[in-house]
Structure 1
Amino acid sequence: MLDNLIPAHGNVVLLDYPNNPNVGDSLIWLGEIAYLKSRYINIQYVCDSKNYNAQQLRKVLDADTIILVHGGGNFGTLWPEEQAFREKVLLDFASTPCIQLPQSIYFDDDEALNRAAKIIDAHSDYTILTRDKASYELVQKSFKSKVFMCPDMAFFMKPQTMSKESTYDCFVLARNDHERSHDWAVILPFKIHGISYQVRDWLNTNAIEKVIYKIEKHSLIFRRVFDKNNLVLMWLWNQLAKFRRNRGAALMQCGKIVITDRLHAHILCLLLDIPHIVIDNANKKISGFYQAWTKSYTKVRFVKDTDSALNEITKLKNII
């Protein structure tokens, strides 16, 4: 699918680097970079939502440049700042080919949906890639843009290698934000008996990540003069994303079995070949992705509640 949309050896700009500690966003970014490198595609400009500069971007665009916007799960009303940035780009470059890399899309407000539709429909060449059927159908119903189904970009990373022995029988990676569906991770410890476990999220940065962030912050004046297209910064961001990926991989390997309600913990477990159990998040992002792409994998179980998760632990232990 992507090969038909993005010509090999072509020129692109890649917008909306995920400058946050969430491991999942970094996995997507690394997959995007890996894909573009595999096709020998030239990245002319990158930015996050804070250092976006439309005037500078116009200077690098040529007749064949395609604007790519980072994928994920922030298209819609769940993450309004990211949606506002996306809409600004579409307004600023309404006649430049633009591809939204694979997203899960969710709107719970008609006014916001109508505003997005007005902006999207005014764009001359906008393509949206979706990670699940519900998002695909929403785009078909609400927007005039082209739309295709596509797996998450994190799958363009190579399979990961296990680097340490598991400390616990079960590792629980649970969301601690407004995308969690309920307090299942709070309830779970009261129901787990006879196995060792740990409950965490993956938003805490380590020392190396903090150092890289400080380098980025304190090099701002230098970069404004000598790195206007953020290509040196992209190298730094890529290193930061790799450290975040490694932090996430280390967490996944803490348990012989993983339970999670984070989509990219699910994907990382697939890449590491770790048996795991997934519980849906608030906007059904995981279930939609699971049904579209990963339900045939034999070492994953999709469940709706903690009791079902506990039942599946025993079954998965038998195939380890």
Structure 2
Amino acid sequence: MTKTYSMDSLKEKLAELSDVIPTHSSVVYLDYPLYGNVGDLLIMKGTEAFFNAYGIHVRERWNAENFIPGRKMPKDAIFVCQGGGNFGDLYPHFQQFRERVIEHYPNNRIVILPQSIYYENEENIKRTKDILTAHPDLHLFTREKASFQFAKRHFQGMKNIRMMPDMAHQLWPLEPAEKPSEPVLRFIRTDKEANESLQEAGEPDTYDWPVMLSDSDKRGIKRLQTLNALNKKAGNLLPIAHYWKRYSDRLVNKSVRFFSRYESVVTSRLHGHILSCLLQKENVVIDNSYGKNANYYNTWMKDIPNTKLIQENGAKTEEPPVLV
């Protein structure tokens, strides 16, 4: 029998992460997003909320640009890698960063928070498998059934593969910042994951994360990214993670206010859908280019009230495709 989930139970499900990140343990949080994709910022905020809820001490925070693998770490420090949808070869920069960390720290536990998996090249899958299976204490959490099945099939020899909802669910519930004053928000992605056959982008009333953020917001992000690069050259003397926490809080709060203005949401962004649910808004989620949204919806969200999925007729969502 297929299990049904509520927003309460999805947050409670995340408590199972304490099996591998025990309460009061000490962690190094890696790959936090230093850019303007608010969906990834929601994941980061949910991760930090999880750390706080379970008394986990974060000894260091590093983004993918300023961490130097090989840096000395105590053996009892648990490396915790940011979750999201960039596991595979669609976003190679982040995947290569994770793989370097895994190779450099065979004596530390490494936990990869819930990720969706997508590969276009069979050789890249083999490379990842060799790196993952060589580590004796690596724990991979997949974000939906399709990615879980993919990992079990392609990463044979890796024992610690489990399934967990997105870390943004730790933020449940979010209070709307204001009463709705507009009917429907169309929040449609415009990047490489856009599903052109299902969505209509570019209309005057269509938004995406880059459109929602102001030029001032983008300049602030760029300044912090530049400071981060200079800081690395100087030996990482400045607390970039602290600066970014304050600035990213502002970006997330702005997004909550923006979504709060609308009665309902139509979106092809997974975190447009999740944020709508966190705010208890009626919403329709459109599948992305390779089935990520549909896979997530069918795994966790299909019984959440006032939600609906639009996907290709006959689309298969059992396992992320590999294009070779």
**Range class of TM-score, shorter chain:** 0.7 to 0.9
Larger Rg: 1
The answer to whether the 8 Å contact 1:29/1:241 transfers is: no
Is 2:170 the partner of 1:161? Answer: no
Q: Larger % of helix: which?
A: 1
CA 1:247 to 1:178, structure 2 compared with 1: closer, same or farther past 3 Å?
same
- Answer yes or no: is 1:248 the counterpart of 2:246: no
Confirm or deny: 8 A CA contact 1:23 1:203 kept in the other structure.
no
Q: Does 1:214 align with 2:223?
A: yes
Deviations along 1:3-50, whole A, 9 cap, x unmatched? 111111111101111111111000000011110111111112221111
**Partner AA of 2:33 in structure 1:** P
Gaps of 5+ in 1: 190-196, 307-320
Q: Counterparts of 1:135 and 1:268 in 2: how far apart (Å)?
A: 22
Per-residue deviation, 1:94: 2.5
| Bigger mean CA deviation after superposition, 145-154 or 206-215 | 206-215
Which residue in 1 is equivalent to 2:210? 203
**TM-score for the superposition, normalised by structure 2:** 0.83
In the alignment, residue 109 of structure 2 is paired with which amino acid?
P
Shift of residue 265 of structure 1?
A: 0.7
Find out whether 1:93 has 2:108 as its counterpart: no
On the 8 A contact 1:173/1:262 being kept in 2, the answer is yes
2:146 maps to 134
1:65 to 65, 77, 80: 77
Match of 1:114 among 105, 112, 126: 126
**In the alignment, which residue of structure 2 is the partner of 1:31?**
46
Find the residue that maps to 2:152 and give its secondary structure: helix
Aligned length: 294
Structure 1 residues 66, 255: closer, same or farther in 2, change over 3 A?
A: same
3-state SS of 1:14 partner = strand
Q: TM-score, normalised by structure 1?
A: 0.84
Residues 51-77 of structure 1 show CA distances to partners (whole Å, capped at 9, x for unaligned) of 111243x1xx22311111000000002
Q: Give secondary structure in 2 for the equivalent of 1:186.
A: coil
Partner SS for 1:236: helix
CA distance, structure 2, for counterparts of residue 112 and residue 283 of structure 1: 18
* Cα pair 2:199 2:268 within 8 Å, conserved: no
Question: What is the aligned-residue RMSD (CA, Å)?
Answer: 2.4
Which residue of 2 is the match for residue 49 of structure 1? Answer: 64
Unaligned runs of 5+ in 2: 1-15, 314-324
Where do 1:251-266 residues align within 5 Å? 251-266=258-273
Matches of 1:223 and 1:51, distance apart in 2: 6
- Residue pair 1:209, 1:244 contacting (<8 A) in 2 also: no
1:283 aligns with 2:298: no
Whole-Å Cα distance in 1 between the matches of residues 252 and 201 of structure 2? 28
Residues 114-164 of structure 1: per-residue CA shift (max 9 Å, x gap): 111111111121110011011111111111321111110011114222223
**2:24 aligned to which of 9, 13, 22:** 9
How many percent of aligned residue pairs carry the same amino acid?
A: 29
- Counterpart-to-counterpart distance in 2, 1:115 and 1:247: 40
